[in-house]
Amino acid sequence: MFLVKTIKNSNRLILNTNNVGVLNNVNKSYSTVAATEEKKKTVKPRHNIERRPIELQRTFPALEVNEDFAPYKITRDQLKQTIENKENVIIIDLRSPKEFYADSPIKESVNIPMEYPKIVKVQSSQSHSSKRGKKSKVVESKKAYDADADLNFWQKTTKMTPVQWREKFGFPKVSKNDSIIFYSANNGRGTQVVDMAIKDGFVNARFLHGGIREFNKYNNNN
The predicted pLDDT at position 140 comes to 55
Burial class (CB within 10 angstroms; exposed 0-12, middle 13-18, buried 19+) of 87:
exposed
The predicted pLDDT at position 59 comes to 38
Length of the chain (residues):
222
- Give the DSSP H/E element, type plus range, for residue 114: none
pLDDT in tens, 157-214: 999 999 999 999 999 999 999 999 999 999 999 999 999 999 999 999 999 999 999 9
How far is it, in rounded angstroms, from Cα 197 to Cα 203?
Answer: 8
Q: Give the domain ranges of the chain.
A: 3-42, 67-115+148-220
The matching CATH number, chosen from 3.40.50.300, 3.40.250.10, 3.40.190.10, 3.40.50.1700, for 67-115+148-220 is 3.40.250.10
CB of 118 within 8 A of CB of 144?
yes
Residue 104: pLDDT band (50, 70, 90) is confident
The predicted pLDDT at position 56 comes to 41
Q: pTM of the full predicted structure?
A: 0.58
- Checking if the pLDDT of 95 tops 90, the result is yes
The predicted pLDDT at position 65 comes to 54
Residue 219: pLDDT band (50, 70, 90) is confident
